């Protein structure tokens, strides 16, 4: 029909993540999806709205912890309807293994001065909490006006230190996860969902 807008078939627009034999090359070794792309997107919209309300009239400084938080920072910040500034810090924690060492080294420090700023630390995951604990102490020493944390994931019941994480996307079981920024030996960061690895993939490390 003349002038008719042709909508694509719904099936073509919804990507069905494939895990297992049909997986694309980046998904090999992922056993199953724990949190889907859609669930992440919905949650980030919700968190963004909450942050927008909480920081009304202020201009928060978002600090992402590299490398794991790069995707979260990009997606979350787009749901914050306030003027924000963005900065990044890189710390070394895991290396290639799946157990935390508790040793945190700053590999890249911030460009911003934190004094008097409303700082929101953006983290991929709180596992033992040791990395976050260290970072919070370090950042508090720089005298921000306020300091809060937004973490996409928090593993339940295994934090070795008490931590106040104001914005949490999902509480998850204490299993090793990858995707949406999270790596195993630097792989899987570009997987668009959070998934569980096949145990064989990391058992020998």
Residue indicated by tokens 């230190």: 161
The correct pick among 55, 114, 120, 131 for binding ligand IMP (CB under 6 A) is 131
Q: Which stretch binds ligand IMP (CB under 6 A): 7-15, 37-45, 77-85, 120-128?
A: 120-128
Rounded Cα–Cα distance for residues 90 and 107 (Å): 5
Look at phi and psi of residue 184 and say left if phi exceeds 0, alpha if psi is from -120 to 50, else beta.
beta
85-104 residues near ligand IMP, rule: CB under 6 A = 93-94, 100
Residues that bind Mg ion (CB under 5 A): 94, 183
Sheet bearing 30-35, strands edge to edge = 30-35, 194-197, 177-178
Q: Is 130 in the site for ligand IMP (CB under 6 A)?
A: yes
Residue indicated by tokens 């709205």: 49
Rounded Cα–Cα distance for residues 129 and 66 (Å): 16
Nearer to ligand IMP, 36 or 100 (CB): 100
The correct pick among 70, 170, 176, 202 for binding ligand IMP (CB under 6 A) is 176
Residue numbers at the binding site for ligand IMP (CB under 6 A): 68, 93-94, 100, 123-132, 176-178, 182
Which residues are designated catalytic? 127
């Amino acid at each position: 029909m003349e002038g008719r807008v042709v909508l694509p078939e719904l099936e073509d627009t919804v990507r069905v993540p494939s895990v297992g034999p049909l997986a694309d090359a980046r998904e090999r070794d992922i056993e199953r999806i724990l949190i889907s792309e859609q669930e992440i997107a919905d949650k980030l919209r919700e968190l963004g709205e909450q942050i927008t309300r909480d920081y009304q009239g202020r201009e928060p400084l978002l600090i992402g912890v590299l490398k794991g938080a790069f995707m979260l920072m990009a997606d979350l910040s787009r749901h914050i309807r306030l003027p924000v500034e963005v900065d990044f810090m890189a710390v070394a924690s895991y290396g290639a293994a799946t157990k935390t060492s508790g040793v945190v080294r700053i590999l890249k420090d911030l460009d911003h001065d934190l004094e008097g700023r409303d700082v929101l630390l953006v983290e991929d995951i709180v596992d033992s909490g040791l990395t976050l604990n260290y970072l919070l102490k370090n950042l508090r020493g720089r005298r921000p006006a306020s300091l809060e944390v937004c973490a996409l994931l928090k593993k339940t019941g295994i934090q070795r230190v008490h931590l106040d994480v104001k914005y949490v996307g999902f509480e998850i079981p204490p299993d090793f996860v990858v995707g949406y920024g999270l790596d195993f030996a630097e792989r899987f960061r570009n997987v668009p969902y959070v998934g569980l690895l096949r145990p064989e993939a990391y058992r020998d490390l």
